[in-house]
Amino acid sequence: MFVENCQKSYCLGENVTIDEMLPGFRGRCPFRQYIPSKPNKYGIKLFALVDSKMTYTYNLEVYAGLQPEGPFRISNKPPDVVKRMVQPLRGSGRNITADNWFTDLELVDWLKKEKLTYVGTIRKNKRQLPPTFVSVIGRKQYSSMFGFSDGKTLVSYIPKERKNVMLISTLHNDHALDPSSGQSNKPEIITYYNSTKGGVDTADQMCSTYDVSRNNKRWPMVIFYAMMNVAGINSLIIYLGNELEPMRRRVFLKKLAHELTLPELQRRSQKTLGIPNSLQIRLRKFNPNKASAADADADAPLLKRRRCEPCTLEVGFRRMTVLRCVRCSKAICTKHSKQICEECKLVVVQTSSEVPQSSDSED
């Protein structure tokens, strides 16, 4: 349901990134993962599809390992994961950027048939690669080698001596070099990959900046906290896109939290029995049935705490209170006061005002 709402509320840009998120978790879980390159190292692995430019998380999938026989048993191979993640984007002409763990030549051909382009690194142990692209013997630094076949472009680049980087692309179909790379002479495929590969990593870093997670031994709560972090980022992107008003994420999350708690405050303000009097006074301004009274209470300053006069005179006990007598305004605690409704209170006040004051001669 969360993923469906994310997809209904946003239209992706031309470039999306597929990668892994790893919310930290060190408790007991049959599908807990260890990824040393991630900041948390141990956690629940999530596959994420994110807008490369706006870092909007469009699709999520939990890696739950090999499930028992039944409807929930699915393949966890990288090509199958990519096919499930890009299902809402089929036929849209967007570009997919991923690392060498996801890259497969059969997957690239399948994406091309679905009118989706692909740019990503590729491992050197793929049997379809020509040996001349994998070998670095006799090749100079900052040199590139290109290969073209069936709409796919393969490039082998030497950033350092005796080391090469290989990428495959169905978006590029030439051997153009990026002039902004200077003496490095990087191909445009590599600079394009570097500019679009960081969508998931940026979203993961933003989640860790304002993280709502707490230490917990239950793995479903880890997934729930990850959804809350993603929802905070997605809602800010939608807000900025609609309102066109710049706002810092910290301020936005604070306002969002206040607005989400307002319905609960209104519900709680209608039944304040059993809570401290100080909280009852603060909850009155959220009561929807008593708007005028709430405004008056909001404008009126809170009474300062004073000693209860009967307690002080009778037993010398120092008991602080904010309650006052409606007639003499003396400070009294709950032990020396009685509850009375508003109608009876008005009757008592009117009666006391009609009784004439006695003089000393009549005494």
What's the pLDDT tens digit per position in 113-139? 999 999 999 999 988 898 988 998 889
Q: Which two tokens stand for residue 62?
A: 């939990």
Task: Check: CB of residue 57 under 8 Å from CB of residue 237.
Answer: no
pLDDT in the model for residue 359 = 46
pLDDT in the model for residue 314 = 76
Share of the chain above pLDDT 90, in %: 55
Q: For residue 79, name the pLDDT band (cuts at 50, 70, 90).
A: very high
pLDDT in the model for residue 275 = 82
Q: In the Cβ-directed half-sphere of 359, how many Cα atoms lie within 13 Å?
A: 2
Q: Which two tokens stand for residue 70?
A: 């039944």
Whether pLDDT at 268 is above 90: no
Q: Where are the domains positioned within the chain?
A: 1-95+197-245, 100-192, 247-302, 306-352
Q: What confidence tens digit (pLDDT) does each residue in 308-356 have?
A: 888 877 777 778 888 888 777 788 888 888 777 766 766 555 555 554 5
User: Sign of the C-alpha dihedral, residues 353, 356, 360, 363?
Assistant: negative
pLDDT in the model for residue 362 = 44
Q: What confidence tens digit (pLDDT) does each residue in 218-239 have?
A: 999 999 999 999 999 999 999 9
Strand-strand pairing, 117-121 and 95-98 = parallel
pLDDT in the model for residue 25 = 93
Distance CA(226)–CA(207), nearest Å, equals 8
Least Cα distance to 2 among 256, 240, 231 occurs for: 231
Least Cα distance to 59 among 14, 10, 115, 130 occurs for: 10
3-state SS assignment for residue 175: coil
DSSP code of residue 217: S
Query: In sequence order, what E strands does 289-341 have?
Result: 306-307, 320-321
Q: Which two tokens stand for residue 143?
A: 């040199």
Range of 251-255, 272-276, 278-282 with top mean pLDDT:
251-255
Task: Check: CB of residue 268 under 8 Å from CB of residue 287.
Answer: no
pLDDT in the model for residue 158 = 92
For 22-36, give the DSSP string. Answer: --B--S--TT-EE-T
Q: Which two tokens stand for residue 250?
A: 């910290």
Q: Which two tokens stand for residue 44?
A: 């629940």
pLDDT in the model for residue 335 = 81
Q: What confidence tens digit (pLDDT) does each residue in 164-185 have?
A: 999 999 999 998 999 998 888 9
Task: Check: CB of residue 270 under 8 Å from CB of residue 261.
Answer: no
Distance CA(137)–CA(135), nearest Å, equals 6
Q: What confidence tens digit (pLDDT) does each residue in 53-69 have?
A: 999 999 999 999 888 88
3-state SS assignment for residue 51: strand
Q: Which two tokens stand for residue 24?
A: 């930290």
The structure's pTM equals 0.74
pLDDT in the model for residue 316 = 75
Buried b (16+ CB within 10 A) or exposed e, 268-301: ebeebeeeeeeeeebbbbbbeeeeeebeebeeee
Q: For residue 289, name the pLDDT band (cuts at 50, 70, 90).
A: confident
Rounded to the nearest integer, the mean pLDDT of the chain is 86
